[in-house]
Structure 1
Amino acid sequence: MLSARSLFQEIVDHDDSFQLFCSIAASGESQGGWENARIAALVPDGMRDLAPKITRHGADEDKHGRIFSALLRKRGLPPVPVPPETDYTMLLERRGIGLAHEKLRREQALTEEDIVVYLAHSRVTEQRAADQMAMLVKYFGDHPEVGKAARMISNDEDNHLAYCHEELLRLAREGHGPAIQRVLRESALVEISVYRDVSLAVMDHMGRLLRWPAPKAAALVAGIRGMYAYERFSGWHRMVDLRPPERRNALGGAAASAPGFA
C-alpha cells in the first residue's frame, strides 16, 4: 500500500535517495538562515525590537541545515548538488515571493513594508514546514536514525509559526492589516503552486533513484496534483488566517543547541 510512511521509509532506507533528501533540506535551511540574518541586520530603526527574534529564527534555520548535514555524515555520505527544479526557496523568489536576495545583499535599511512582506511570507512557508515536520514526527518520531532530528526541528518550526502569528497580529493592530492580508493571499497562492512543482520534481528524482515502476510514479503524480487542486480550491485558507498562538514570545530567547548533531 502506498502511504506517506512507506514512501519516506523507502527514501530513508536507500543511500542515494536519503543523500538527495538531506542535501535538499540542508540547502534550503541554510538559505533560510542567511536570509534571516540579513533581514535582522537591515531591520529599520523603528522595528529594532524585532531584530533579536529574526536573528533567533535565522540561527534555528542554520541549526537545521547542520542537522541534515550531520545525518549525511553519520551515514558516510557527502552532500550532492541540489537540482534547480527542487530548490523551493529559489523558485519562490523567482515568483516574487518574499524579499529579493538582491535587496538583502545591499547595506540599505529595509522598510516597515519590507518587514510586513517578510513576516507574511514566513507565516505561509512556516505553515508548510510545520505541517511537514509534524507528519515526519507522527510516522518517524521514534526512528533510530532520523527521529530525534525530526522532533527537534518540528518543535522549532512550531515556534517559528507562533512567532509569525504573534508579530503579524501586532502589526495588524498598528494599521498594517490590509497589507498583511494582501501579502498573505498572494504568498499562499504562489506557494502552493511552487510546492506542487517542487514535489513533482523531487518525486521524479526519487523515482529514478529508487527505480519506481511506472504505475507507482503515476499514482504519486496524481496524488500531488490532487493535493494542489484541493489547496487551490480551499486549502490555502489555512495558510493565511491569523490567530493568537498558544506559544507566546516563542523566539524570545537564545536558539537551542542540537546535541548529537551540531
Structure 2
Amino acid sequence: MLSARSLFQEIIENDDSFQLFCSIAASGEAQGGWENARIAALVPDGMRGLAPKIVRHGADEDKHGRIFNALLRKRGLPPVPVPPETDYTMLLERRGIGLAHEKLRRSEPLTEHDIVVYLAHSRVTEQRAADQMEMLVTHFGDHPEVGRAIHMISNDEDNHLAYCHEELLRLAREGHGRTIQRVLRESALAEISVYRDVSLAVMDHMGRLLHWPAPKAALLAAGIRGLYAYERFSGWHRMVNLRMPRRRDALGGAPAPAPGLA
C-alpha cells in the first residue's frame, strides 16, 4: 500500500534517490538564504527594524542547506545537479511570484510594497514548508539518520511561518491590508500549480532511480493531481488566512545552532 511513510522510506533507503532528494532540498534552502540576505541588505529606511528578522530567516535557510549537505556527506555522497523542472524557487519566480532575483542583485533599496510582497509570498511558501516538515516529523521524527535534522528544520519552519503571520498583521494595521490579501491570493494560486509541477517532476526522477513499475508511477501522479484539484477548489484558503501566532517575535533572537548536523 502506498503511503507518505512508505514512499519516503523507499527514497531515503536508496543512495541515488536520497542523493537527489537532499540535493534538491539543499539547493532550495541555499536560494532562500541568499534571497533573504539580499532583502535584508535592501530594506527601505522606514522598515529597517525588520532587517534583523530577515537576516535571521536567511541564516536559518542557510543552516538547512548545510544540514542537507551534511546528511549527504555522512553517506559519502556528493550533491548532484538539480534538474531545472524540480527547482521550486526559480519556477515561482518565473510565474512572477515574490521578488525577482534581478531586482535583488541590484543595489537600489526596496520599497515598502516590495517588503509586503516578500512577506506575503513567504507566508504562502512557509506554509508549504511547515506542512511538509510536520508530515516528516510525524513519520520519521525518530529515524536514526534523519530524525534529528527533521525536528530542527520543522521547528525553524514553524518560526518562519509565525513571523510572516505577525508581520503581515502588523502591516495590515498600517494600511497594507488590500495589497496583502491580493498578493496572498495570487501567490497561493501560483504556488499550488508550481508545487504540482515540481512534485510530478520529482516523482518522475525518483521513479526512474527506483525503477517503479508504471502502475505505481501512474498512481502517484494521480495522487499529486488529486491534491492539486483539492487545493485549487478550496485548499488554497489555508495559505491566505492570517492569525496572530502563539509564537510571538519568533525570529527575534539568534538562530539555533546545529551542532553535529551543519
Tell me which residue corresponds to 2:95: 95
Paired residues for 1:160-175 under 5 Å: 160-175=160-175
After TM superposition, the score normalised by the length of structure 1 is 1.00
CA distance in 1: counterparts of 2:50 and 2:221, whole angstroms: 41
CA distance in 2: counterparts of 1:73 and 1:61, whole angstroms: 19
SS at match of 1:250: coil
Unmatched segments (≥5 aa) in structure 1: none
Task: Quote the offset at 1:28 in angstroms.
Answer: 0.1
- Residue 202 of structure 2 is aligned to residue 193 of structure 1: no
Task: Quote the offset at 1:217 in angstroms.
Answer: 0.3
Tell me which residue corresponds to 2:39: 39
CA distance in 1: counterparts of 2:33 and 2:191, whole angstroms: 19
Paired residues for 1:65-214 under 5 Å: 65-214=65-214
SS at match of 1:51: helix
Unmatched segments (≥5 aa) in structure 2: none
Task: Quote the offset at 1:247 in angstroms.
Answer: 0.1
CA distance in 1: counterparts of 2:146 and 2:94, whole angstroms: 32
CA distance in 2: counterparts of 1:119 and 1:200, whole angstroms: 27
SS at match of 2:258: coil
State the one-letter code of the partner of 1:99: L
SS at match of 1:168: helix
Tell me which residue corresponds to 2:58: 58
Task: Quote the offset at 1:248 in angstroms.
Answer: 0.1
Identity %: 88
Tell me which residue corresponds to 2:261: 261
CA distance in 1: counterparts of 2:103 and 2:255, whole angstroms: 26
List, as ranges, runs of 4+ consecutive aligned residues in structure 1 with deviation greater than 6 Å.
Answer: none
Q: How far does the alpha carbon of each residue in 1:196-245 deviate from its partner, in whole angstroms, 9 at most, with x for none?
A: 00000000000000000011000000000000000000000000000000
State the one-letter code of the partner of 2:170: R
CA distance in 1: counterparts of 2:111 and 2:69, whole angstroms: 34
CA distance in 2: counterparts of 1:97 and 1:243, whole angstroms: 22
CA distance in 2: counterparts of 1:129 and 1:10, whole angstroms: 21
SS at match of 1:253: coil
State the one-letter code of the partner of 2:183: V
Task: Quote the offset at 1:2 in angstroms.
Answer: 0.4
**Alignment root-mean-square deviation, CA:** 0.2
CA distance in 1: counterparts of 2:163 and 2:109, whole angstroms: 22
SS at match of 1:65: helix
Task: Quote the offset at 1:189 in angstroms.
Answer: 0.1
State the one-letter code of the partner of 1:152: M
State the one-letter code of the partner of 1:20: L
CA distance in 2: counterparts of 1:214 and 1:102, whole angstroms: 41
Task: Quote the offset at 1:261 in angstroms.
Answer: 1.1
Task: Quote the offset at 1:158 in angstroms.
Answer: 0.0
State the one-letter code of the partner of 1:92: L
SS at match of 1:79: coil
Tell me which residue corresponds to 1:243: 243
State the one-letter code of the partner of 2:120: A
State the one-letter code of the partner of 2:7: L
